[in-house]
Structures are given as C-alpha cells and as structure tokens.
C-alpha cells in the first residue's frame, strides 16, 4: 500500500505542476492544453490511490478537455459528458461523501467550459473546482495536489481581483 501511495503522490505532483502552469496561461486554449496533461496525471494518481469516482470523472474530463481544446464541445456533447460524469462517477464512488467532490467539481467545470469564452469566468470556475479537489485530495492523501489546490485557489483568486479590469474589457 505504501508503494501505491508514493506512486500516487508522484503523479499527483506532476498533475500539480501542470495545473500550476495552466493558471498562468493567457488564452483559454493554452489553459485547456495544460489541463489535459493535468488530467492524465490525475488519472494515474487516482489509479494508484484507489479513488474510483475521481478516476471516472477525470476520464470524462479528459474527453471534455480534448474536445474543448479542439473546439468540438457542442451543447449535446456537453450534456452527454455531464450525464456520463455524474452517472459513472456515482456508480464508481468508493469514498462516500468525499467521492462526491470530484463528481461535483468535474460536472460544474464541464458546464463552465461550454458556457463561457471569458478567461475571468474560467478562473472563477477553476477556483471553485480546486477547492472541491482540495478536500478530496487531503482525504485520499494526494498531498502535492492538495497543496497545489489551495495555493492555486488563493493565487488565482488574487489574480482575478488584480486583473479584474483587464479581463472585464475582453469579456
């Protein structure tokens, strides 16, 4: 079990690096590209840490992110992915209430990815997503991701307020 915890945390660290890079990107496409890499490492971490609701929601998120990156995320596909995320996530949940956090995080982020083109709104969605993942990551002992979740939530929140006029003009 200890080996799997170490492996899970190595992948968690790689995921954390990717999500950290994503939040400094200026364009939605660059942000999503780094989040594709983040989700791949999350999936590997979820396998090692035996957190199946997170594994299934991250698998659906990978599909969502790839489609969003290619501008192929339509309303119908978004709804299908949203329903798939929730149904498969609930089916695979082996962590009780904590297992619901990744489902909620991924479902809400799916909605934001489709409904907004505004970087500022994407950052707000990312903050709420990171907070939900923080709670989950602490529980499953994915400490690099948990630390990154909280740091990036604070940093992204600061950037939202610091750049509110710049981003508001673009939106």
- One digit per residue, the tens of pLDDT, for the chain of length 171 reads 689 999 999 999 999 899 888 878 878 889 889 999 999 999 999 999 999 999 999 999 999 899 989 999 888 999 999 999 999 999 999 999 999 999 999 898 888 877 887 778 888 888 999 899 999 999 999 999 899 899 989 988 888 888 776 655 454
Q: How many domains does one find in the chain?
A: 1
User: Cβ contacts of residue 24 below 8 Å, gap of 6+?
Assistant: none
- Which domain, by its residues, includes 89? 2-170
Residue 63 has a pLDDT of 94
Q: At what angle do helices 52-69 and 28-48 cross, to 10 degrees?
A: 160
- Helices then strands, each counted (H, E), the chain: 8, 0
Identify which of 37, 38, 50 has the alpha carbon closest to the alpha carbon of residue 4: 50
Res 169: pLDDT: 47
> What pLDDT does residue 171 have?
46
pLDDT of amino acid 73: 83
pLDDT in the model for residue 40: 97
**What's the full length of the chain, in residues?**
171
Residue 116: the pLDDT is 81
């Amino acid at each position: 079990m200890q080996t799997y915890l170490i492996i899970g945390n190595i992948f968690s660290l790689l995921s954390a690096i990717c999500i950290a890079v994503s939040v400094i990107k200026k364009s939605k496409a660059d942000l999503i590209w780094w989040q594709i890499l983040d989700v791949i490492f999350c999936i590997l971490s979820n396998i090692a840490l035996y957190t199946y609701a997170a594994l299934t929601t991250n698998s659906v998120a990978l599909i969502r992110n790839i489609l969003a990156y290619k501008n192929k995320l339509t309303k119908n596909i978004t709804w299908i992915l949203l329903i798939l995320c929730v149904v498969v996530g609930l089916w695979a949940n082996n962590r009780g209430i904590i297992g619901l956090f990744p489902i909620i995080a991924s479902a809400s982020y799916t909605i934001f990815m489709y409904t907004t083109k505004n970087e500022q709104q994407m950052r707000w969605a990312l903050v709420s997503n990171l907070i939900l993942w923080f709670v989950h990551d602490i529980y499953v002992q994915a400490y690099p991701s948990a630390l990154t979740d909280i740091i990036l939530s604070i940093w992204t929140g600061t950037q939202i307020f610091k750049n509110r006029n710049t981003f508001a003009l673009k939106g």
